[in-house]
Amino acid sequence: MDNPLTLKQRALIFASFAAAMILAIVPLPESIQLLRPDWAALVLVYWCMALPERIGVGSGWVLGLFLDVLYGSLLGEQALAKAALAYLTLRFTLRLRMFPRWQQSLAVGTLVALSDLMLIMIKSLVRGHPPLWSDTAPMIANVILWPFLFGILREVRRRAKIS
């Protein structure tokens, strides 16, 4: 690549993923649990949009693998979903960047929802968990959260001069 990232910048990206994973596994009361956004997915989408040549399918896959382990789910299901999400994001990066914020958040929400759909299908196929309406609650939370998360991460990226 033309301008390799410094160690500090790499660490920052890694830290953002780590924070997303922590937020994803922080124990919450049952009532709020449903509305927990998919932090890891949103952060992944952001970095895929911002650094499409560095963060991509492979990073998504590794992230998903860690999520699988942390959630205790079937090894590979989150990995598959996150890799697919990264691929979709890379496909639409240019368009996503051009969208106004609200439209962007809808589009990102749709992408994450697609990967979630994949997860739901895998779960119902492999483990016989029936799809539930409550599965859509995090998708809505994603759409609401995205603009704020985008603002924060962009600020972080600019301050750290990651590009």
Partner 1 sequence: MRRPRGLLICGKRMGTFLGWSIRRPSNLTKLVLVVCASVALMVADSHNDQGTRVIRDTALRASYPLQELAALPFAVGREALKSLRTNTRLRHDNVRLKAENRRLAVEASQAGALRAEVTHMAALLHGAPVPGYRVSLARALDVSSGPFSQRLTLDEGARDHVFLGQAVIDAHGIVGQVVSVGPHTSQVMLITDPDSGIPVVSERNGLRAIAFGTGMQDRLKVPYLTVTANIRPGDILASSGLGGIYPPGYPVARVVEVTSNPNLAFLKIRAVPLAHLSYHTHVLLLWPRNAPKNQGLGHG
Q: Applying CB under 8 A, which residues contact partner 1?
A: 18, 21-22, 25-27, 52-53, 56-58, 61, 64-66, 68-70, 74-77, 79-80, 83-84, 87, 90-91, 93-94, 97, 122, 126, 163
> Nearer Cβ to partner 1, position 61 or 146?
61
CB of 17 to partner 1, least distance (A): 10
CB of 98 to partner 1, least distance (A): 9
The residues, any chain, with a CB within 8 Å of residue 68's CB and separated by 6 or more, are 74, 75, 76, 77, 78, 79
> Nearer Cβ to partner 1, position 78 or 142?
78
CB of 124 to partner 1, least distance (A): 14
The pair of structure tokens assigned to 144 is: 């609401």
Q: What is the DSSP letter of 27?
A: -
Residue 40 CA neighbour count, 13 Å, CB half = 26
CB of 8 to partner 1, least distance (A): 19
- Strands (DSSP E) along the chain, which ranges? none
The pair of structure tokens assigned to 10 is: 């790499």
CA distance 115 to 81: 5
> Nearer Cβ to partner 1, position 76 or 136?
76
DSSP alpha helix (H) spans, 26-100: 30-33, 39-50, 57-71, 77-98
> Nearer Cβ to partner 1, position 93 or 136?
93
